[in-house]
Amino acid sequence: MSLSATSDSPETSKRPSVNSEGVTELQNAVIRFAGNSQDGIQTIGGFLARLAGRSAREVMTYMTIPSTISGGPSIFQVHLGSGEVLSAGDDSDFLFAFYQHSYDDHIGSLRPGGICLYDSDQVETIRTDTDAIHVAVPITSATVESIGGSARDRGKNLFVLGMVAALFKLNKEKIASLIERQFGRKNEDVLRNAMLAFDAGFAYPIGNVLSLEFDLKKGKVQGEDKVTTDGNTALTLGLLAGGVRYGAAYPITPWSTIMEQLRVELPKYGGLFVQAEDELAAVSMALGFAYAGHTAVTGSSGPGLSLKMEALSYATMAELPLVVINVQRGGPSTGLPTSVEQSDLMQAIYGSHGDCPRIVLAPKNVADCFYIAVEACQLARKYSCPVFILTDMALASRIEAFAQPDLATLVHEPALDQATRGEEFKPYPLDGETRHAPPGTVMQGGKYPVVTGLEHDEWGHPSASPVLHAKMTARRRDKIKAFGATLPLPEIFGDDAGEILVVGWGSTWGPIREAVDRMRAAGRKAGAMHLRHINPMPNRLDTIFARYQSVVVVEMNDEGIYGYGQLATLLRSRYCDPKIRSVCKTDGLNYKVRDIVSRVEAAAAEA
């Protein structure tokens, strides 16, 4: 057979090698599990990802959440590798199909010559027009048999996990300890059944039907075990490290898991999180926390952010610090609640009424969700303004392994600043930084401040003076500009100059890098530039653009009426450079690496 070692062959050159014992050594493997959400497919994916993190392997996962509540088709894809893993993989090397519909929908995702293991109790019709290697395993009946009693078919996921462990010679003890950690908490029966199913899968004589064995190479030994988690969890922990102790929000997918975790975690840190009656109340409560002197957070997804916009305009005017999270999903309106999109960029920057400058950041991967949350807290305090974090559905749910952050240097211990303010106190000095006196502060002059959304003077007194409004508008804008001036130019990945620069933001960081790798392997002089700070963006990006023949911005949003995606529009308006092209997409799915390559090439050719 023509099994190649990487998911993305034939574009890449890493070939598998068959060793003396006939074992195929793999650098990478992309495994897709397709079933229904109630089958616990996410659980297998989670175990594999965590195992990879414990064995010096890179991992990235991708999953779909069914939009119906009672379950429905669901997939989980795991990309394991001994080198750097940047995307969840375009095509899969292995497909585990639990049902006929899973088979029908996903057999096309298997790369040529890939291996499909299907549940022969459920899948009846096999296609004959593919070169996939088909392996029939009676997953349902074998699972029921292994657990016995009235087990029905629960535990199929662990049976499959056992097969995967055997197939790839994974460390059985490590997996068993992970299973124990997950199920041991529930009760002994649950754990025993899980282990029975897992062992049965591990012992299943797959060799009788598939005369191949695989060994997933280990990466360079990295010393410590890695942390394996999803973006929403990383973001939650970043907020805690950054000093957030109070927050309020209203549930919405895919934001909810952040607020659920904060609700549980914050009391441990002496803080609290409020589930508000709606997003208007949520942002207002969060501003109440901020006014009271705390680092506070609110968050939502698109529809909820729309509701928060009036209060966020207040936060700019009153100059209150607030971290605002938008876990973007497909819009407009209720849109595609469980799909990925980057279409809220302009809303984050310009979505409120009035001249309303604020900071907008976007994390590039799961680890960065942690770091960017810490940074957002610091910036909110320093510049006393709302700071947006634009993450997305893909980052929210995908699992990656990364090194544990250096907590000792990153953790901020919050403290209320209630030092007595002197008579000269001005919260909004024209020539200095905004500093509030939170309630409880003794005002030596006997004059107490009222924070307002009306235009005001340096002391915060309402004033409709035209001169003052111009000055204060400039002041609120200039502090954001001043932050922009502190930002270093982004590092370039790949060629520092040449034919094509691919520009991206947010969760496309990995796939864009992989695309640039491939373009370079094919002889192109190409580089990638990624923006984490989007408003303000670093100055002098034009000096980078000047080094390439064309600049192509890759985004997951619509090209709009004038033909350019949201970041592309901003870059073109800032630099007036017609060389800046745009690649957009609106199907609610992650970019495949090969699509980035072909569409960037096409856009560059147009230029």
Would you tell me which residues interact with another protein (CB under 8 A)? 50, 53-54, 225-229, 233, 237, 240-241, 245-246, 248, 265, 267-272, 274, 276-278, 280-282, 284-294, 296, 310-311, 314, 404-405, 407-408, 411, 413, 437-444, 446-454, 462
Contacts of 140 (CB under 8 A, 6+ apart): 119, 121, 122, 153, 156
Local structure of 299: helix, strand or coil: strand
- Which residue, 62 or 273, is less far from another protein as judged by CB? 273
Residue with structure tokens 């460390």? 171
Please name which of 607, 490, 584 lies closest in space to residue 537, comparing C-alpha atoms. 490
Residue pair 193/233 in contact by the 8 Å Cβ criterion: no
Q: How far is the CB of 27 from another protein (least distance, A)?
A: 24
- Which residue, 114 or 351, is less far from another protein as judged by CB? 351
- Which residue, 234 or 604, is less far from another protein as judged by CB? 234
- Which residue, 45 or 527, is less far from another protein as judged by CB? 45
Please name which of 171, 149, 152 lies closest in space to residue 161, comparing C-alpha atoms. 171
Interstrand relation of 399-402 and 227-230 (parallel, antiparallel or unpaired): antiparallel
- Which residue, 311 or 584, is less far from another protein as judged by CB? 311
Q: How far is the CB of 313 from another protein (least distance, A)?
A: 8
CA pair distance 167, 138, nearest whole angstrom: 16
- As beta bridge partners, residue 78 has 31, 61
Residue pair 479/385 in contact by the 8 Å Cβ criterion: yes
For the chain, give the number of residues: 607
Please name which of 171, 188, 388 lies closest in space to residue 301, comparing C-alpha atoms. 388
Q: How far is the CB of 305 from another protein (least distance, A)?
A: 16
Contacts of 407 (CB under 8 A, 6+ apart): 241
Torsion of CA 477, 392, 298, 345, to 10 degrees: 20
- As beta bridge partners, residue 498 has 548
- Which strands make up the sheet holding 272-275, listed edge to edge? 272-275, 246-249, 296-300, 322-328, 386-392, 359-361, 533-535
Q: How far is the CB of 213 from another protein (least distance, A)?
A: 28
- Which residue, 81 or 460, is less far from another protein as judged by CB? 460
CA pair distance 305, 282, nearest whole angstrom: 11
- Which residue, 250 or 564, is less far from another protein as judged by CB? 250
Amino acid at 120: S
CA pair distance 66, 74, nearest whole angstrom: 6
- Which residue, 237 or 512, is less far from another protein as judged by CB? 237
Q: How far is the CB of 447 from another protein (least distance, A)?
A: 7
CA pair distance 456, 79, nearest whole angstrom: 55
Please name which of 79, 2, 78, 68 lies closest in space to residue 34, comparing C-alpha atoms. 78
Treating both helix axes as pointing N-terminal to C-terminal, what angle do 156-167 and 139-147 enclose, rounded to 10 degrees?
Answer: 110
Q: How far is the CB of 226 from another protein (least distance, A)?
A: 7
- Which residue, 428 or 591, is less far from another protein as judged by CB? 428
Structure tokens at 329: 């999903």
- Which residue, 336 or 410, is less far from another protein as judged by CB? 410
CA pair distance 351, 347, nearest whole angstrom: 4
Structure tokens at 417: 């600043």
Local structure of 70: helix, strand or coil: coil
- Which residue, 53 or 201, is less far from another protein as judged by CB? 53
- Which residue, 163 or 451, is less far from another protein as judged by CB? 451
Q: How far is the CB of 233 from another protein (least distance, A)?
A: 8
Q: How far is the CB of 59 from another protein (least distance, A)?
A: 13
- Phi then psi for residue 490, to 5 deg, are -65, 150
